[in-house]
Structure 1
Amino acid sequence: MSSPQPQMPQAAPAWQAAPGSAPHPGGPGYTSPIPVVRTHLGNAIASEWTKIRSVRSTMWTLGVFVLLVVGIGLLTGIVVSSSSTDLSGENALSLGFFGLLLGSMCIITLGVLTTASEYGTGMIRTTMVACPSRGRVLAAKAIVFFLVAFVVTLVAGSLVAFLHVALLEDSGARDPSGGEWLKGTVGIALYIALLGLLSLIVGSIIRHSAGAITIMIGAVLAPLVIALFMFSESLQKVRDALFEYSIPNQLSVFYANSLSQSGPSGWDPLWIILGVTAVAFAGAFALLEKRDV
């Protein structure tokens, strides 16, 4: 006679946990050991700050920017102060224009790389998984980049301004007024930072680093170069408009040294670049919501 077969324990109903097992995740009384925190814009800003300061391209481009602005500014001040050039009545800050015009190319490059490089490497997919709100990601990138560009430009521009005032004291250049100091330091820093922010937005739209950088450098230099070759009298109004609203001329306005007799003056260039950047940002946001990453 065969021995009785061992009886298998009766399976627990689907709705009931087996004896000695842990409660079903998500069931009554279950508490996750991982704290769940609702994310917000501050989390996205912290993430973008970590990325921008840990990438080598940031240090290289900002380092070259400071080198160009301070180096060219110092060299220009030394050359002018050691020559017999009479700067009577001229604003001592106006020589800072040359270094900042070349240095703006570095800010443009960094702005494009802040967004376009993530599309090139595929890192943008990880970013969007971590933060599904695409608008929040773009806003965080814009805030972090703008603050970095503004602070670096303000420090470099202010240093050059103090050097020029000291070096050109015996050249007849007048001491800048309070308003000229504000425009030549804070004003120019805001303009350069907004120009870099516009580059960041173009990088988000184009999604190709080389293409976006080419577009932005062309936007800076092309109007002025094209205007130089417009010799026909019938094109005089177009030539004047290109001169007046070219980015180099708008930069010179902050030093009260405009390349043209009319066009933007005072703080007008800042409002122009602010309006263009706002429109571009709205377009980038709309495209970001509709396109695949």
Structure 2
Amino acid sequence: MAYAAVLRSEWTKIRTVASTSWTLATALLVTVAIGAGLCAVVNATFDDMPQTARVTFDATQMSFSGMLLGQLAVLVFGAMVVGSEYGTGMIRTSLAAVPRRGALLLGKLTVATALALVVGLATGFLSFFLGQALLGDHGTGLGGENVLRAVTGVGLYLALLAAFAIGASMMLRNSAASISLLITFVLILPIVLSVVDATRKIASYLPSQAGSAIMQTVSASADGQDVPYGPWGGLGIMALWSLAAVAGGYLTLVKRDA
């Protein structure tokens, strides 16, 4: 099967399964709504914040305060892109139609990450403009220093997160197991490690903390944190995690029976 046909097939699978479509829609809506609500609260209480917090305040990143739940939705989306086929046995039909397993995985990655990128960019720009409007005098503009990079970084980060989830799910071949592991590793583990001084630096190299640096316009070192990389360096670390997961998924796909 030609690669273009593989892409059309994967696009059809994703858009005709309501659960996968809704997870991306949820990522956008939840991120925008929570970010807007928190921006409104910060605007109302800004003068009550400590002096240090006001000096290092990142108005752009504040718009993305809902990213925690947005990330969760994208992880579920990536897991379901793979897990739903294994759960229904549809993967056998897919492999029969596309015997070249690398092409099948590449097709899934291309379509799913492209969708995550588009949704992520829409999420970034909507969250930013609504959040800044609600921050009032404490907000910033798209032309501010590093702001455009941070806003577009939302799309890049969510696309890499989707790729990471697809790779991990291809190794596990089960939606429930994949979602549980992804939530623990990507969302919970960094928080746990960050509360202990001895493990805080380890947490900074995990996918979510490293990748989210691209969405900051104020260096974390400004509020006393030791940051071992910049925004693009953090995204690069995230890309390496995603590449490793995809490589693991590929090896699993080619070496095991469906």
Normalising by structure 1, what TM-score? 0.77
Q: Which has the higher contact order (CA 8 A, sep 6+)?
A: 2
Percent identity of paired positions between Structure 1 and Structure 2: 33
Matched, 1:96 2:57: no
Confirm or deny that 1:262 pairs with 2:227. yes
How many residues get paired? Answer: 247
Matches of 1:284 and 1:147 in 2, distance apart?
19
2: CA distance between counterparts of 1:184 and 1:125?
41
2:205–2:237 Cα contact (<8 Å) kept: no
Moved more, 97-106 or 117-126: 97-106
Do the aligned partners of 1:90 and 1:174 also contact (CA within 8 Å) in 2? no
Distance 1:158 1:276 in 2: 26
Q: 1:249 aligns with which of 199, 204, 209?
A: 209
| Aligned partner (choices 141, 156, 161) of residue 123 of structure 2 | 156
- The TM-score, its normalising length taken from structure 2, stands at 0.87
2:249 — aligned with what? 284
**Which residue of the partner structure matches residue 149 of structure 2?**
183
Distance 1:124 1:200 in 2: 14
Aligned Cα root-mean-square deviation (Å): 2.1
Unpaired runs of 5+ residues, structure 1, are 1-38, 231-235
Equivalence for 2:240: 275
| Corresponding position: 1:194 with 2:156 | no
- Say if 1:53 and 1:71 are closer, same or farther in 2 by CA, change over 3 A: same
Matched, 1:167 2:134: yes
* Partner Cα separation in structure 2 for residue 104 and residue 94 of structure 1: 15
The aligned residue for residue 23 of structure 1 is none
* Secondary structure of the corresponding residue to residue 231 of structure 2: coil
- In structure 2, the CA distance between the partners of 1:179 and 1:43, relative to structure 1 (3 Å rule), is farther
Who wins on radius of gyration, i.e. which is larger? 1
Question: Are 2:111 and 1:144 aligned?
Answer: yes
Cα offset, 1:90, TM superposition: 3.2
- What is the rounded CA distance, in whole Å, between the counterparts of 1:243 and 1:122 in structure 2? 37
Secondary structure of 1:262's partner? coil
Q: Distance in 2 between matches of 1:283 and 1:63?
A: 28
Shift of the 66–43 alpha-carbon distance from structure 1 to 2, 3 Å rule, reads same
**Which SS does the other structure have where 2:226 is aligned?**
coil
Deviation per residue, 1:3-53 (Å, 9 max, x gap): xxxxxxxxxxxxxxxxxxxxxxxxxxxxxxxxxxxx311110000001101
Cα deviation 1:179-222 (Å, max 9, x = unaligned):
52232221121112101111011111110111111111111221
Per residue, is there more helix in 1 or in 2? 2
Per-residue deviation, 1:141: 0.2
Structure 1 residue 102: Cα displacement:
1.7
